[in-house]
Structure 1
């Protein structure tokens, strides 16, 4: 990826109606800031492409992709609030979440929370695939979590503009993309692969890596958390051969909904065993204390 100068914006600097508060991240295409909308009185996330990349071609691509994104209106997809040229910069405004899934994965996540996030992400991607829209860069950094417990997938459309703009940047993010996508042939199956990798990490606690040969890292933990039917579902999602994968997130979601009740029963059974073991240990310790007291 070519080296691109950072967008030089200072904390507390005004950019149109926005006041920059802090930098949230930076990549080869853009920098992301937390800012205050001084007119609406709300905080937003600003994605600002690096100035050397902004030309008529980029703006034309951005307009096309933004209009396409507007047709994919779903609670699980992060929509653009506003896009403007301010002081020669393209400034794209989004709702500001609490953190990304990448941040959240640094802390323990319960099974219930994991399943809730999987539900939301699959529904969002399935909705897009039904409308023939693919993401091409599904990764934890592009999943934004909000205080109400909702998750929204960011960068629909913008990921495509970035690919077209930065020569040699590939077709996604290395470590998250399907083999055919790395060769420049992304499809709905590629999004399925990326979703499978993210879900495996959420459930197993480790990232599977190339060549994705089973058993994958974290497999022993995975076996204690979900039934074999769900492991088979994950395995099909991240098949190297795209023809053996789910063809899109719609089919992936439908298969998940069939095995979800079994996964819930499996976890409830595991929890019941742990409770029984704790009660047994407590009773045993109580008997020991009683004998000692006598």
Structure 2
């Protein structure tokens, strides 16, 4: 999680989510700032008074916290704790504190969404792209479909190092997947919007993110090629990289890369530098 957030505050129904007071204590954590208010949870910056460093705390809204709802967060905690990789945001701890379900994560400097609001050099952008692709590949290696690939869910740490975060609606691919169109409009593959997410849906979302990183524009339905700002894409990216992005953005899932591993492998095997 990051110390800055570009996410907009959202409520759930007509009930306004309760917030923790700044400077209040939650177990060993001292609440310093609210980073994001989402539909289902808040994210806070907090100081760990025992270990002596800052963390991000993700806390489900209490008014939604029945057993069925919390079971989803327990699954998220289990997913986040089983993967240890430089480009996956691993869970530090999950526990019940003062009747709150609390998940603690390392605190980054900002989200990729924040970073994209400022100019990025080609060298830095290449690093960010490689880290994003590697994170998705690792997640798919563990047979997990993220279902919500977007700039807000990549957290930047000093280096820069980019980590893929937020497994809140991730689906394990070990069983038949039936979703309800969960995800973020604007970064959702057509079949995912119909409730049929797959590894190829994450590939499509990553293709949209790559296009956004290079042009500042997110292609929209019906995703006809070439999308707007294609001329800008051609000025910034090698033709082989453009062909890779186009394949990731095929509206027909069978024509895309099979998963994040295949996408990452294709990127690493580009015959020349990805960016001009």
TM-score bracket for this pair, using the shorter chain length: 0.7 to 0.9
Alignment of 1:78-157 (within 5 A): 78-156=89-167
The 3 A distance-change label for structure 1 pair 260 and 53 is farther
Is the contact made by 1:7 and 1:48 (CA closer than 8 Å) also made in structure 2?
no
Which residue of structure 2 lines up, in the alignment, with residue 272 of structure 1? none
Distance 1:244 1:2 in 2: 37
Counterpart check, 1:57 vs 2:68: yes
1:22-37 correspondence to structure 2 within 5 Å? 22-37=33-48
Instruction: Give the Å deviation of 1:170.
Output: 3.6
* Alignment length (residue pairs): 258
Mapping of 1:1-294 within 5 angstroms? Answer: 2-3=12-13, 4-156=15-167, 158-160=168-170, 170-259=181-270, 261-263=272-274, 267=276
Q: What's the CA shift for 1:197?
A: 0.7
Distance 2:185 2:142 in 1: 26
> Cα deviation per residue 1:215-272 (whole Å; 9 max; x = unaligned)?
21221111111122111110110111111111101111111112162435xx2xxxxx
* Alpha-carbon distance in structure 1 between the residues aligned to 2:84 and 2:145: 14
Cα distance in 2, alignment partners of residues 174 and 252 from structure 1: 22
Change (3 A) 1:150 1:174: same
**Distance across 2 between alignment mates of 1:184 and 1:30:** 23
Post-superposition CA distance 1:138-168 (Å, at most 9, x none)? 1100110011210001112x2349xxxxxx9
User: Given the two structures, how large is their TM-score scaled by the length of structure 2?
Assistant: 0.88
Q: Which residue number in structure 2 is paired with residue 271 of structure 1? A: none
Asked which structure has the greater CA Rg, the reply is: 1
Higher helix proportion, which one?
A: 1
Q: 1:59 to 1:260 in 2, by over 3 A?
A: farther
Contact 2:145 2:170 in 1 (8 A): no
Residue ranges of structure 1 left out of the alignment (5+ in a row): 162-167, 268-294
CA distance in 1, matches of 2:35, 2:142: 31
> Conserved in 2, the CA contact under 8 Å of 1:239 and 1:245?
yes
1:260 and 1:25 map into 2 onto residues whose CA distance is 41
3-state DSSP class of the match of 1:261? coil
Is the 2:140–2:199 contact (alpha carbons within 8 Å) kept by the matching residues of 1? Answer: yes
Moved over 4 A (4+): none
Task: Rate the CA distance shift 1:6–1:85 in 2: closer, same or farther, 3 A.
Answer: same
Does the 8 Å contact 2:180/2:193 carry over to 1? Answer: no
